[in-house]
Amino acid sequence: MRAIAYDQHGEARHVLRLCEQPVPAAPAAGQVRVRVLSRPVHPGDLAGVQGFPGAPQGRFATPRIPGLEGMGVVETVGEGVRDLRPGQRIAFFPVPGAWGEFVTAPAGLVVPVPEGVSDETAALMLVNPITLLTLLRAVEDAQHGQAGAVVQTAAGSSVGRLVCAAALEHGIPLVNLVRSVTGAQALRRRFPDLPTISTADADWRTQVRDATGGRGARVVLDAVGGSLTGDLARLLDDGGTLITYGQLGSGSTPLESLALTPRALTVRGVSIVQWLTRTPEQRAEDVAFAARLASTAPELLEVAADYDLADFAQAIDHARRPGKSGTVLLTSPAS
């Protein structure tokens, strides 16, 4: 099978390569083998290739295949699998190796695609909606029952637009931050009832203060990090919480510069990996939410473009393009 693989951490365009890999073995009991047709290029996928700060780095004895999410068709099922059948369209997460043309997955991590949902939407059906739920729960925990303004960075991203829609539905006083003036204009057109501010404006910090009623934010949802962290901490009200869930920015901010103690601030890291610690019943509820969203609001799971696996370098460039709207997909032929 074709797969995109790497045998050492580094810049994705430099260490990734298209190669032939053995098709995974026949599924064991409780597993299914899936022919993967489409998979997203998430920032977390590229961060994993780069190597996370503080994690061991170096060469691997066996090449690794990125990707945890995708959609495809069930090829074979292992013993004891009752609710899935060959030929059925499914989505999966988290299953390592999604950037290959086949994966073997535990049946419990495989979700039937609802009728009427396109392959493109199905490829995005799980990670971003589950990330949304994870962030909403983190915001609720951080507020401690005290409602207050929420500021989010990277508001024009795929997850950011889901947060916008949820804020309107649940009455969350959300303030959006984006990097460019044109990005701010586009997001205002899409969500005219939410204040959107470009960090390219010289007075963006003052604009945020005004949008939060002068008190600052109760919570900041930050997917950027890096050198922006200090500014975001200063925009928090005393006792507020900075929730970080991504590292899209550059640079760094020393922790001691954030005045955490005198201002009683909290910094909390959130990762979708934590979703696996939820009970099976809770995960099933989250998956049902994701499937409903894919069926009723597919426009919130927007696709920017799709590329064949062989064109992964162009796909990565597109995924990193400023102002991109939607998620880039890597595709494989159906046969």
Residue 199 vs residues 155, 184, 226: alpha-carbon distances, Å = 11, 9, 14
Query: To which residue do tokens 């922006």 refer?
Result: 228
d(CA 66, CA 283) in angstroms, rounded, equals 23
Largest interatomic CA distance in the chain: 62
The whole-number pLDDT of residue 54 equals 63
Helix axes 280-296, 127-143, angle to 10 degrees: 120
End-to-end alpha-carbon separation of the chain, Å? Answer: 11
| pLDDT tens for the chain, residues 1 to 335 | 999 999 999 999 999 999 999 999 899 999 999 999 999 999 999 999 988 766 667 788 899 999 999 999 999 999 999 999 999 999 999 999 999 999 999 999 999 999 999 999 999 999 999 999 999 999 999 998 788 999 999 999 999 999 999 999 999 999 999 999 999 999 999 999 999 999 999 999 999 999 999 989 999 999 998 889 999 999 999 999 999 998 776 676 777 778 888 899 999 999 988 899 999 999 999 999 999 999 999 999 999 999 999 999 999 999 999 878 899 999 999 87
Task: Evaluate whether 217 touches 241 at the Cβ level (below 8 Å).
Answer: no
Q: Are strands 150-152 and 217-222 parallel, antiparallel or unpaired?
A: parallel
The whole-number pLDDT of residue 55 equals 63
d(CA 35, CA 98) in angstroms, rounded, equals 10
The whole-number pLDDT of residue 56 equals 67
The whole-number pLDDT of residue 259 equals 83
Please list, in sequence order, all residues whose beta carbon lies within 8 angstroms of the beta carbon of residue 63, skipping any fewer than 6 positions away.
5, 6, 7, 19, 21
Indicate the pTM of the whole model.
0.93
**Residue by residue, what is the 3-state secondary structure of 8-33?**
ECCCHHHHCEEEECCCCCCCCCCEEE
β-pair partners for 175: 151
The whole-number pLDDT of residue 120 equals 97
Q: Could you give the angle at the alpha carbon of 16 between the alpha carbons of 15 and 18, nearest 5°?
A: 140
Q: Which two tokens stand for residue 23?
A: 């098709």
The identity of residue 320, as a single letter, is R
For residue 81, which phi and psi values (nearest 5 degrees)? -85, 115
Q: Is the peptide bond before 94 cis (omega within 30 degrees of 0)?
A: yes
Q: Could you give the angle at the alpha carbon of 19 between the alpha carbons of 14 and 20, nearest 5°?
A: 165
Query: To which residue do tokens 């050198």 refer?
Result: 227
The whole-number pLDDT of residue 150 equals 97
Instruction: Collapse the DSSP code of 309 into the 3-class scheme (helix H, G, I; strand E, B; otherwise coil) and give the result.
Output: helix
Q: What is the DSSP string of 26-81?
A: PP-TTEEEEEEEEEE--HHHHHHHH--TTS--SEEEEEE---S-EEEEEEEE-TT-
Task: Evaluate whether 6 touches 49 at the Cβ level (below 8 Å).
Answer: yes
Q: Are strands 236-244 and 89-92 parallel, antiparallel or unpaired?
A: unpaired
The whole-number pLDDT of residue 93 equals 97
The whole-number pLDDT of residue 314 equals 97
